[in-house]
Amino acid sequence: MFSYPPFDEQILDLLRSRDEFIVLGHISPDGDCLSSQMAAGSLLLKMGKTVHLANAGPFDRSEISHLRADFLAHIDKDLYDRNPIVVVVDCSSPERIGHLAQEIEGLTTIVLDHHSSGEQFGTFRYIVPRSVSTTLIVMQLYKALDVEISQEIAEHLFFGFATDSGFFRFINAYRGETLRLAAELVDLGVSPNIMADRMTGGKSLGYVKYLGKLIDRSESLYDGRLMLSSSFLKDRDTYITTDKPSDSLYAMLLSVKDVEVVLFFKELEGGATEVGFRSSHQSSVDVGALAERFGGGGHKKAAGATIGEEITVVRQKLVDAVGELLGN
């Protein structure tokens, strides 16, 4: 039976002994990233520390957009010169931190993460790929430091777990420890049905129309084993929404019979392209390793990358790479 490994005592000693901290997460933060940041920040506050949350953003999901004001967009010289400890959560490589990676260079860094691929970085690392979410890693840190988990903190921990587990859909057999941790959080006052509403409710009509368009644009390749869709800059003017339809798009396309891999291409300003990778539970394709080849990272079944090339170029490269993995 799986159990989380103990924390390095050097990590625990740093958290106990130092007074000022910056808690960072990855660009384009999702529920697990921000929930991990807020839970880790609350942990340090409970220990009497001075805490700064920082994230390069953008905060473009409706369920997190209201949090923008709580996060620094830059680390100024005064803060840097005070030599704070940096806690980086849910990041598989320094590039995933965005411009903040340069702004923390030289500071002692603790990395808490659960991604199976990416670049090893940071002064100290606690990386558990078998953890369903980074929030469940932060939960282990609460236990290691013997800090009480309040209902508010439990809600952050559960929300991150819920988003990264697809609300329990991505949990495999023999993962009872994950359900037991979720049960602990429910016993602390978390309402799963309210969490489900936070994840899926409150979407705008623009979001629904945008999702419909992305589904309409979807293409099937390699005898239906690869599905892909694309989002373009022009869509911002046509479909007015702050929500990202990608999670729903992945679920819809992965539900198609025989699909093993889904790619979602998003055109960015400056000629770059963001790519989302997903693979089915039955597929042998490791999209985390595939994303790593293109400068990204993630999990075996879910990953992402930002590539500094035009969307048409990136699309062809990824289609060819997936074709090789599928034996075509």
In sequence order, which residues have a C-beta less than 8 Å from that of residue 328 and are 6 or more positions away?
222
Q: Are both 179 and 73 inside the same structural domain?
A: yes
**Per-residue pLDDT tens digits for 119-130:** 789 999 999 999
Q: Are both 60 and 192 inside the same structural domain?
A: yes
Q: Are both 219 and 169 inside the same structural domain?
A: no
Of 230, 280, 274, 238, the C-alpha closest to 257 is 280
Q: Are both 258 and 186 inside the same structural domain?
A: no
**Per-residue pLDDT tens digits for 170-185:** 888 889 999 999 999 9
**Residue 318: pLDDT band with limits 50, 70, 90:** very high
Q: Are both 37 and 181 inside the same structural domain?
A: yes
> Token pair for residue 127?
């990386």
**Residue 204: pLDDT band with limits 50, 70, 90:** confident
CATH number of the structural domain spanning residue 70: 3.90.1640.10
| Element of type H or E holding 144 | helix 134-144
**Per-residue pLDDT tens digits for 231-274:** 999 998 898 776 778 888 999 999 999 999 999 999 999 999 99
Of 315, 293, 289, the C-alpha closest to 302 is 289
In sequence order, which residues have a C-beta less than 8 Å from that of residue 76 and are 6 or more positions away?
none
In sequence order, which residues have a C-beta less than 8 Å from that of residue 93 and are 6 or more positions away?
118, 119, 121, 296, 297
Q: What is the pLDDT of residue 321?
A: 97
Structural domain for 91, as ranges? 9-198
Q: Is residue 172 part of a domain?
A: yes
What is the total count of domains within the chain? 2
Q: What is the pLDDT of residue 250?
A: 94
Q: What is the pLDDT of residue 294?
A: 94
Q: Are both 194 and 213 inside the same structural domain?
A: no
Q: What is the pLDDT of residue 245?
A: 86
**Per-residue pLDDT tens digits for 56-95:** 988 876 667 778 889 999 999 999 999 999 999 999 889 8
Q: Are both 186 and 287 inside the same structural domain?
A: no
Q: Are both 176 and 92 inside the same structural domain?
A: yes
Of 108, 139, 112, the C-alpha closest to 42 is 139
Q: Are both 13 and 128 inside the same structural domain?
A: yes
pTM, to two decimals: 0.81
The residue ranking higher by pLDDT, 325 or 247, is 325
Number of helical (H) and strand (E) elements in the chain, helices listed first: 13, 11
C-alpha dihedral over 201, 202, 208, 211, to 10 degrees? Answer: -60
Q: Is residue 4 part of a domain?
A: no
Q: Is residue 3 part of a domain?
A: no
Q: Is residue 46 part of a domain?
A: yes
